[in-house]
Structure 1
Amino acid sequence: MADGRRAQPCADLGVVERLAAALRSAGFTTTGIEDHLGAEVGAALTGGVSWPAVAVVGDDSPLSTLIAVLLLGHARPVDRLAAALPGVEVAELVEQGIVELVDDQVIPLLDVRPYADDAGEYYVFADQDSGRRSGALAEDHVLGIGGASISLARAVIRRPFPRALDLGTGCGVQALHLGAHCSDVVGTDTNERALCLAAATARASGQSWDLRRGSLFEPIAGETFDLIVSNPPFVVSGGDQDYIYRDSGMPADALCARLIAELPDHLNPGGMATVLANWVVTDRDDWPARPREWLAGTGLDAWVVQRELADPISYVSLWLADAGESPERSAARGRKWLDYFERAGIVAIGMGVLTLRRPFDPTAGPRFQIVEEITGAGEEVTGDEALAFFDRQDFLADHSDEELLDLRLATAPVILDEQSMLGESGWQTIGSVIRRPGGPGAALVVDEVSRALVAGCRGQVPLADLVALLAAHHGVDADALARAAMPVVREAIARGILFAAV
């Protein structure tokens, strides 16, 4: 760890509120910054590439000054920052731990940036990442907006919920999204600094959350929610807690295992949860073993999607680079980390998202628990796709094969991909896959018969009639073909390729 824990920032939320108002007046918004920098440079900055923006903000304009200080982490003269923020004293920002003064220069301590979604425009307060400051991160470092937080935000089901919990809120990114569609938002974290910055994020963004300090479900003991989201400190290690934002202090994936085990007690019937997690893999051929072990006995319906499977060196390297430590310190920590993996028999680490639901009738047990790998670009789990996936699984659970045969099924907009091999008689098809564009894992391997069956589903005649026509064409028994076809039909419905016509 670097410089330990520091004085807590943003204690006076009145200053935060006035700062946010001054930033809005100066055009320090997502659209204002993009207009000032240009679309390409703005997109690069959003993606973490800052050097194109440096040349653009070399002038003395208020917006350039704000971008340089609050986004790029650069020093600027005191009078320039004061001119950019009328109504806010630089001394107040120093007192609140947002900036510091060195001679006549303002040095930023926090990352303050605008953030927008379909519901509104916000300001997020966090610590500067390792790319914007020298030296290693502090133990109580609070992450800002990053790839993991954005992935989680996209994966959460966005429908109205009465009460939501953001477990491990950090700087409050998930709580911001929850505030747009949930009546009551509770955020928890073990890191007091994170709660201070989350409170600043909420006030600057015009929201109000119930923020509580504590580990896992301890701060909300005995309470239940309709939606729970969590981006916990899931990093798999030997149990050290070098950085609060990533290290739980528990060995391996014990924190995620405990989170999933305790989750059902805090979900209302029908309540949903979306959790980012990492899990240990001791056999690459059976990577789903650990998530399935977590789910066993929970009674939760579940869709677990592994997005990446990392080898130990790649995994450790990722987190060492994130901390900004010296090469010598990184090498020593990395060696210790890899030694632990070897002793524990960990050959890989799975990374992904769990979408979970407590059934309306918990005594009936889970309707489904599906664990799969979906790694394709553009196939990330989204809230809309997760909700549709659960709806389709419910539909399948509610309909027997006989009932499905009586239905008129239709085909979603799909693409047929074929693989062919050149033979003596020309090109011969050796494989066919039907894909629904934009759907995670929305692919169905088909043969000649199942391909024709899917093509025939136009919502006009019952499935049984289509099967009978195909059976007659191929000279086979209709009942036998129906039995063979139903697993393919069910998979096609599960993937959103087929659906019941109205």
Structure 2
Amino acid sequence: MITAPTDHQPAVFPMTDLEVVDRLGTDLREAGYSTTAVPELLGSSAHRALGRGEMWPALRSTRGGSALETMIRLFLLGTTESEGAVARAFPEAGLSAALSSGALERDGADIRAGLDIRPHADDDSEFLVVSDLDSDTRPGPVRRDHVLGIGQASITLANAVIREPAGAVMDLGTGCGIQALHAFSHSGSIVATDTNARALALAGATARLNGQRWDLREGSLFDPVVGERFDLIVSNPPFVIGTGRQQYEYRDSGIAGDGLCRELVGGMTAHLRPGGTAQMLANWIVREDSDWRERVGGWVYGTGCDAWVVQREMADPAEYVALWLKDAGETGGSAAGTASDWLDYFAAEKVTGIGMGLITLRHNGSDDPDVVLDEITGVGEEVTGAEAAAFLARRAWLRGASDVDLLGARLSLAPSVILEQRALAGHEGWSTVLRLLRRPGGPGATLQLDEWGQSLLAGCTGNLPMAVLLDLMGTAHGLDVEALAEAVLPTIRVAITRGLLHPVDS
């Protein structure tokens, strides 16, 4: 068993008896507790309602008493069930062992879930993930060492990670192990760290249930990996910006403001192998009369790594505080006091907004790193691993391409690119006022054009070098070709950066 000392007595963490974990996994899988079978049993309407936080349709759909229905009611709906029904659902583990493991607990004469165990999947595999029950399933404030489960932030990061083969991977601040879980299939080894010993216990259970092996280490920031380097570092840290008081370990770093994220960014280079990549979620302070790019740009320029920083959202301080109070299940007078102190801190620090986004770093050993800081907030423009990898590759190609190289390149529009036009009616008919090139699904993949740019890019079919296209345009319209090239090449570079244009191999 994993134990950690407290002021009074050792704490015994759940799900550390590996034999019981294995038997629980057998029961869950034998019952069909998966991302496919659960929605099928619930039905589309009840499953959609559950996604909105509405429990009653799912409760109505799970009254049959089967093992799968009992598991759904326990772990996904937070009900209490009869001892007999639960015993029938877990024949391999046995009720006594399931209770002693912490997966289940008694509630009077009945049984309820002690932990959140839920199915999860990617494109190739089904998983089971172990975490603590959130405040929606178990009302009231969560415990100080609460281990967060599958949430929007963890899914955002998992979707954004570049899924290329990596020899050594570090999941910094692993929590219940979501990022390590997704990295396992394309990594040689995984080190997963956390300051929360309870999180490491539940991450160990997640790994065991899914037949994976991770090197679990307790410690803050890079302390557990001194002298080690990795091909990939991923981190969904406790990035919430506050006073420095650590009320909840999953949320509060114990470092005031955005100091934790700054330290994490600053420490990445020393732990990345040449060519290695780091990707992390972060929040940052935005003060009145300042641009977030100045603050975060200062962090990433100091790393010497190429960087792509994407701000996805800017939160109002009061809304930010309300969000995190609700997340922790805090209500009433204590919540009001916490909120007041939190907002007083923001006011004293002149915080007018909190930026939320993703930081991607690549250690290329350059004396002049390439740094792009984007604000991309559109729905459907989320960063994916494929988009992040392609963005870094395009920027690397552009850095090595002089204007002469660009003029000699054959460029082609991406297959999915569309041209959007807007026009105003006038006395002489419609007058075009906007020409926008767009690659649907590409983060920030838009480019506003004038009439000349529209004509030039229409000719980018990959058949002719850019110099020839410019010569043809200049000749047709009586324009100086050198001046035309000087004017349009910056736009061409932007179009390549955004994946609207790409070079065609000779």
| Residue aligning to 1:466 | 469
Output the CA distance in 2 between the equivalents of 1:373 and 1:87: 51
Output the CA distance in 2 between the equivalents of 1:279 and 1:438: 26
Give the counterpart of 1:289 among 286, 294, 315.
294
Q: What's the secondary structure of 2:473's corresponding residue?
A: helix
Change in Cα spacing, 1:472 to 1:84, as seen in structure 2 (3 Å) is: same
- Residue type of the alignment partner of 1:274: Q
Structure 2 unaligned segments of length 5 or more: list them: 1-8
Change in Cα spacing, 1:5 to 1:372, as seen in structure 2 (3 Å) is: farther
Q: What's the secondary structure of 2:464's corresponding residue?
A: coil
Instruction: Note if 1:38 corresponds to 2:43.
Output: yes
Output the CA distance in 2 between the equivalents of 1:65 and 1:41: 16
Tell me how far 1:431 sits from its aligned partner. Answer: 1.4
Give the counterpart of 2:384 among 372, 382, 385.
382
Tell me how far 1:430 sits from its aligned partner. Answer: 1.1
What value does the CA root-mean-square deviation take over the aligned residues? 1.4
Output the CA distance in 2 between the equivalents of 1:441 and 1:428: 26
Tell me how far 1:291 sits from its aligned partner. Answer: 0.8
Which is worse superposed, 349-358 or 328-337?
Answer: 328-337
| Residue aligning to 1:393 | 395
Q: Deviations over 1:380-407 (max 9, x none)?
A: 0000000000000011011101111011
Instruction: Note if 1:315 corresponds to 2:320.
Output: yes
Output the CA distance in 1 between the equivalents of 2:429 and 2:60: 59
Pairs within 5 Å for 1:46-57: 46=51, 48-57=53-62
Count of residues in Structure 1 that have an aligned counterpart in Structure 2: 496
Instruction: Note if 1:371 corresponds to 2:365.
Output: no
Instruction: Note if 1:425 corresponds to 2:428.
Output: yes
Q: What's the secondary structure of 2:39's corresponding residue?
A: helix
Which is worse superposed, 378-387 or 117-126?
Answer: 117-126
| Residue aligning to 1:85 | 90
Pairs within 5 Å for 1:209-358: 209-283=214-288, 286-358=291-363
Give the counterpart of 1:448 among 445, 451, 455.
451
| Residue aligning to 2:5 | none
Change in Cα spacing, 1:242 to 1:77, as seen in structure 2 (3 Å) is: same
Tell whether the 8 Å contact from 2:80 to 2:107 is kept in structure 1 after alignment: no
| Residue aligning to 2:487 | 484
Instruction: Note if 1:110 corresponds to 2:115.
Output: yes
- Residue type of the alignment partner of 2:183: L
Change in Cα spacing, 1:285 to 1:434, as seen in structure 2 (3 Å) is: farther
Which is worse superposed, 116-125 or 370-379?
Answer: 116-125
Instruction: Note if 1:163 corresponds to 2:168.
Output: yes
Tell whether the 8 Å contact from 1:367 to 1:394 is kept in structure 2 after alignment: no
- Residue type of the alignment partner of 2:452: V
Q: Deviations over 1:312-343 (max 9, x none)?
A: 11111110111111222211111110110010
Tell whether the 8 Å contact from 2:308 to 2:360 is kept in structure 1 after alignment: yes
Output the CA distance in 2 between the equivalents of 1:328 and 1:366: 52
Tell me how far 1:47 sits from its aligned partner. Answer: 5.7
Q: What's the secondary structure of 1:131's corresponding residue?
A: coil
Q: What's the secondary structure of 1:18's corresponding residue?
A: helix
Output the CA distance in 2 between the equivalents of 1:164 and 1:283: 38
Output the CA distance in 1 between the equivalents of 2:28 and 2:356: 37
Q: Deviations over 1:238-279 (max 9, x none)?
A: 101000001000000000000011110000000001100000
Tell me how far 1:27 sits from its aligned partner. Answer: 1.0
Instruction: Note if 1:138 corresponds to 2:140.
Output: no
Change in Cα spacing, 1:314 to 1:263, as seen in structure 2 (3 Å) is: same
Output the CA distance in 2 between the equivalents of 1:327 and 1:80: 36
Tell whether the 8 Å contact from 1:167 to 1:188 is kept in structure 2 after alignment: yes
Which is worse superposed, 154-163 or 465-474?
Answer: 465-474
Which is worse superposed, 146-155 or 461-470?
Answer: 461-470
Output the CA distance in 1 between the equivalents of 2:345 and 2:453: 49
Tell me how far 1:296 sits from its aligned partner. Answer: 2.6
Tell me how far 1:426 sits from its aligned partner. Answer: 2.2
Change in Cα spacing, 1:118 to 1:284, as seen in structure 2 (3 Å) is: farther
Question: What is the percentage of aligned positions where both structures have the same residue?
Answer: 49
Output the CA distance in 2 between the equivalents of 1:170 and 1:48: 23
Output the CA distance in 1 between the equivalents of 2:136 and 2:344: 28
Tell whether the 8 Å contact from 2:301 to 2:369 is kept in structure 1 after alignment: no
Give the counterpart of 1:63 among 61, 68, 71.
68
Output the CA distance in 1 between the equivalents of 2:352 and 2:297: 18
TM-score, normalised by the number of residues in structure 2: 0.96
Tell whether the 8 Å contact from 1:165 to 1:186 is kept in structure 2 after alignment: yes
Give the counterpart of 1:125 among 113, 116, 130.
130
| Residue aligning to 1:188 | 193
Q: Deviations over 1:282-304 (max 9, x none)?
A: 13651212111111321010000
Structure 1 unaligned segments of length 5 or more: list them: none
Output the CA distance in 1 between the equivalents of 2:109 and 2:242: 44
Give the counterpart of 2:203 among 198, 213, 228.
198
Output the CA distance in 1 between the equivalents of 2:51 and 2:207: 21
Which is worse superposed, 118-127 or 419-428?
Answer: 419-428
Change in Cα spacing, 1:48 to 1:301, as seen in structure 2 (3 Å) is: farther
Q: Deviations over 1:463-486 (max 9, x none)?
A: 111111111222210000000000
